[in-house]
Structure 1
Amino acid sequence: MNEELIDSGNLPLARKSVLPGTGFFLPDDLEEDLEDEEAAAALEGAEVAVVADPDADGLACVALLRAAYDDVAVVPEPDEEDAALEEEDLEREPSDADDTALEEPEPTPHAVALLPASPHDVEDALARVAEYGDEGVDLYVCDLCPDKYEYVEDELAAALETASRVSWYDHHQWDDEVAAAVREAGVDLVVGDSDAECSADVVYRSLEYEFDPIYEELAAVTRDHDLWLREDPRSDDLADYAYWTDPAEYVEVVRKYGADLPDWVAEFIAERRIEKEALIEQAVGRAELREVGPYTVGITYGRCSQNEVAEAMREQGADASVIVKPAGSASIRGTDEFERCHEVAGKVNGGGHPKAAGCKPDIYDDMLDYANHWTTRGAVTKRVILEAFHEVVESEDAADGDETDGDDLEAAESTKSGD
């Protein structure tokens, strides 16, 4: 295939907005081989392995762990960032890989090794720790939650045989049975309140280590974005920087600078935001509002920053928002009026928080399905997610009806007793 056909770097913005990144079209085997090599290089000689979501929250957990283990700091020089300004926008989603070229991994000097993972492939990262980690390595899993225990059961068992101990720190909505099974396997699982803590908060309070105040502030600013509080403008900078730069670089920069990113990073973020804002505008322009029971659901399609698009739909009157991505996945965002996003996502192969969740409906059997997805701007995906909304709302109505019936019965019995 002509590489120019899958290189979205030079596409007009309107076309780039509706197509996935170059990495989406690369064979899974190629990506898996590269990830194997990177994991082997990172774990060679490492005392600690950290499997973490490569967003700002997951990477803050890695920064905290490297501080606690007094790991070497390797901060990039500002001039190394100049070339990155010209790189293509990254789609850091489980099924939508980077537009950047694949490169051979380089050995890392870190005693605390980072293995980035998404909720959809955490089992692969655990398997790599079992295969490439040194006997007796400390293993931490951060900011990740398996939907079902059987998804990670075998790989976690293998990792437990290699590691001296396994700690799992998270703040997502865990199924009680999954949490119990993980703990019974021998894992120290700590799950924070998803309405009050991010995963970095959980790590900060769980480690027996006296952190520099810079890390307490880092966790607080990370929480501001991860819980969508948006009270500290620095939190958007952290989220964007984590999204656009290499995970290893992000960890080392926040270890040195904390939440107050240096000027050269601010310049990098400002440059990238020009295109980010344009892609947001494209997605917002496609937004539709649908009525689902008593709720208004905003729904759109595009390669974009989902939180800002969801906020724009909220301002248009949406109680919940759905952003369908070209790679087939979708982000679901709620408000104070709708706090059941994780239930909606759970019906379409996903999960998350009451106000923030993600999913990828199991509806793509071949490339023709994806072609239809791109040309119809996610019509099938939108339909199945809206159907999931209807199911959740109907179950809510049924529950309310049962409570009302119970109240009526109690009132009737009280009246009868009075007679």
Structure 2
Amino acid sequence: MEDELIDSSRLSLSRKSQLPGAGFFYPDSLDEDRSEELVKEAVEDAEVVVVADTDADGLGCVALLREAYGAALDPEPFEEEIAERIERLEGTTDPEDDEEEAEVDVPEEEDVAPGSAVALVGSGPYSLEDDFDNVAEYAPEGVDVFVCDLCPDKYEYVEEELDRLVETASEVRWFDHHQWKDDVADAVEEAGVGLVVGESDEECSTDVTLRSLDYEFDDRFAELAAVTRDHDLWIREDARSDDLADYAYWTDAEEYVTVVGAYGADLPDVAAEFVELRRVEKERLIERAVSRAELKSVGPWTVGVTYGRCSQNEVAEALREEGADAAVVVKPAGSASIRGTENFELCHEVAGQVNGGGHPKAAGCKPDIYDDMLDYANHWTTQGSAAKRVILAAFERVAERAEQGVYDDEGVETDR
């Protein structure tokens, strides 16, 4: 396949909105090999390893841990790189020209030599066991390990790899705020892990990390946790929380951790300028997704359903303003984001029925309906019709269970 066929910078905004990024077309086997090599490079000389989600909340935990261990990096080289990216962005074509949409890449993780004694291993729900295994394989024996902002759906998914990790490390601590099943939490603790799970509707994982570490943090870190929580729990009372979320999404993990570790929730001018420039395209992708949305009645709820490569939180907010109690954003890569409101706090239950999980008001899933590339081709050309049907069917099942009184006021099954 020619590179230009998957090069997003060559696509019109309309096509870009409907197709996955270039990383989707990179084979898992090659990606796993490269991921293993990156983990090895990051952890082989580390004193502490943090396995964390790479959103603003997970990376906020890393910033706190580097501060606590005196291992924060100098932000100046990263700020210089941001300034160079801004120059490239300002040199691209008119953002109003749909046929000449441009994109500027952020530095690859391997292009930055972190050099921190607190190594960062970016992870996610579908790579957690592999990352545990790689850390156990390559980190020095006796290293301290932290796991942040991640929750396994089933203990057996990580059982063997976590056992290896516990044997390698002197201590493993796990900070999170997702909805944990009791049997999973019990099994993780029995494996020898110090698990702290905060209330998912009150704390983010950065909050949990802040209160769990025996260290006196400066006020900027408490503020960083509060602003991160504002976005992660979808409170949206502090405009800076969108800046943090967008910055974490648009740059690499090492840069984000270093910059917010140095400046807290108030991004330096150069980072703020970069975020604003990237928002030009972001807003237009949001508009595309909102224009495709349909409102469906499911049980007592109105569910807004749409498709596209976009920022799901802002799309969900727009659908809420149109009357949706819940929003589903199906992505070109096959996954979907589910967002709730005060009228719908069962997102995690819907996602749990479709190969996913999360929080009462925010969850994600990836329906198990893609057997080959023809299924993905159908997904792109029908704007996710099969995935939409499967997720709406999950809403219907949850609606039936809610009518039967299965859930309490906090969205937890009453028979648990």
Shared fold per TM-score greater than 0.5: yes
- Residue number in structure 2 paired with 1:417: none
Q: Equivalent residue for 1:345?
A: 351
User: C-alpha separation between the residues in 1 aligned to 2:67 and 2:176?
Assistant: 19
- Residue 11 of structure 1: aligned partner: 11
Q: Secondary structure at the match of 1:289?
A: strand
Shift in alpha-carbon separation, 1:103–1:339, aligned structure 2, 3 A: closer
Q: Which of 298, 301, 305 is 1:299 aligned to?
A: 305
RMSD: 1.7
Contact kept in structure 1, 2:72 and 2:258, CA below 8 Å: no
Q: Deviations over 1:247-297 (max 9, x none)?
A: 000000011110000110111001100000000000000000000011000
Alignment correspondent of 2:366: 360
Conserved 8 A contact 1:41-1:107: no
| CA drift at 1:73 | 1.9
| Alpha-carbon distance between aligned partners in 1 of 2:109 and 2:339, rounded to the nearest angstrom | 35
**Contact 2:107–2:251 (Cα < 8 Å) also in 1:** no
> Where does residue 184 of structure 1 map in the other structure?
190
2: CA distance, partners of 1:49 / 1:188? 15
> What is the match of residue 22 of structure 1?
22
Query: Structure 1, residues 198-253: CA drift from partner, whole Å, max 9, x if none?
Result: 00000000011111111001000000000000001000000000000010000000
Query: Are 2:81 and 1:80 aligned?
Result: yes
1:103 CA displacement: 7.6
How far is the alpha carbon of 1:331 from its aligned partner?
0.2
Change (3 A) 1:328 1:101: farther
- For the pair 1:131 / 2:132, whether they are aligned, the reply is no
Q: Please show how residues 202-217 of structure 1 align to structure 2 within 5 Å.
A: 202-217=208-223
The within-5 A match list for 1:355-394 is: 355-394=361-400
Structure 1 segments unaligned to the other structure (5+ residues): 89-97, 402-419
The separation in 2 between residues aligned to 1:383 and 1:208, in whole angstroms, is 48
Distance 1:381 1:393 in 2: 18
After superposition, residues 394-413 of structure 1 pair within 5 angstroms as 394-399=400-405
CA contact (8 A) 1:165 1:187 kept: yes
Query: What TM-score do you get using the length of structure 2 for normalisation?
Result: 0.91
Aligned residue for 1:173? 179
Query: Shift of the alpha carbon at 1:104?
Result: 5.0
Distance 2:222 2:159 in 1: 33
Residues 103, 125 of structure 1: CA spacing in aligned structure 2 closer, same or farther, 3 A cutoff? closer
Distance (whole Å) between structure 1 residues aligned to residue 260 and residue 107 of structure 2:
26
Deviation of 1:105 after TM superposition, in Å, equals: 5.7
Q: Determine if contact 1:41/1:106 at 8 Å carries over to the other structure.
A: no
Matched with 1:57 is: 57
Q: Which moved more, 1:77-86 or 1:31-40?
A: 77-86
**Paired residue for 2:289?**
283
In 2, are the aligned partners of 1:41 and 1:108 still within 8 Å (CA)? no
Paired residues of 2:298 and 2:395 also in contact (CA < 8 A): yes
The match for 1:121 among 111, 120, 127 is 127
Distance 1:262 1:327, change over 3 A: same
Q: Alignment length, in residue pairs?
A: 392
Deviations 1:2-40 (A, max 9, x none): 111111122000000000000100111221122112111
Q: Spell out, residue by residue over 1:304-339, the C-alpha distance to the aligned partner (whole angstroms, 9 max, x if none).
A: 000000000000000000000000000000001010
Task: Say whether residues 1:218 and 2:224 are aligned partners.
Answer: yes
1:249 corresponds to which residue?
Answer: 255
Check whether the contact 1:42–1:107 (CA below 8 A) recurs between aligned residues: no
- Aligned mates of 2:109, 2:51 — CA distance in 1: 21
Superposed displacement of residue 354, structure 1: 0.3
Distance 2:75 2:318 in 1: 36
Judge conservation of contact 1:224–1:235 (CA < 8 Å) in 2: yes
Q: Given the alignment of the two structures, is residue 70 of structure 1 paired with residue 76 of structure 2, yes or no?
A: no
Correspondence for 2:342 among 333, 336, 341: 336
Amino acid at match of 1:360: K
Contact 1:46 1:113 in 2 (8 A): yes
Map Cα deviations across residues 115-149 of structure 1 (whole Å, 9 max, x no partner): 00011111111111101100000000000000000
Query: Does the Cα contact within 8 Å between 1:48 and 1:113 map onto a contact in 2?
Result: yes
After superposition, the Cα gap between the structure-2 partners of 1:135 and 1:188, relative to the gap in structure 1 and judged at 3 Å, is same
Distance 1:72 1:64, change over 3 A: closer
The 1:234/1:107 distance shift into structure 2, 3 A limit, reads closer
8 Å Cα contact 1:22/1:99 also seen in 2: no
1:352/1:358 contact within 8 Å kept:
yes
- What amino acid is aligned across from residue 230 of structure 2 in structure 1? D
**Aligned counterparts of 1:287 and 1:142: Cα–Cα separation in 2:** 34
Does residue 48 (structure 1) correspond to residue 48 (structure 2)? The answer is yes
Structure 1 SS opposite 2:35: helix
Contact kept? 2:19, 2:309, Cα under 8 Å: yes
Conserved in 2, the CA contact under 8 Å of 1:348 and 1:361?
A: yes
Structure 2: gaps (5+ residues)? 93-103, 408-416
In 2, the alpha carbon distance for the partners of 1:289 and 1:34 equals 42
State the one-letter code of the partner of 2:81: E
Task: Tell me the SS of whatever aligns to 2:367.
Answer: coil
User: Would the aligned equivalents of 1:38 and 1:106 in 2 still touch at CA under 8 Å?
Assistant: no
Matched position secondary structure for 1:131: helix
Q: CA deviation at 1:108?
A: 3.2
Identity rate, percent? 66
Q: Distance in 1 between the 2:249 and 2:115 partners? A: 24
Shift of residue 106, structure 1, vs aligned partner: 5.7
Aligned to 2:95: none
Cα-to-partner distance string for 1:160-179 (whole Å, 9 max, x where unaligned): 11111100000000000000
Looking at structure 2, the residues matched to 6 and 100 of structure 1 have their Cα atoms a distance apart, in angstroms, of 17
State the TM-score, normalizing by the size of structure 1: 0.91
Q: Matches of 2:320 and 2:84 in 1, distance apart?
A: 37
For 1:150 and 1:103, locate their aligned partners in 2 and report how far apart those are by CA, in whole Å: 30
Q: Secondary structure at the match of 1:177?
A: helix
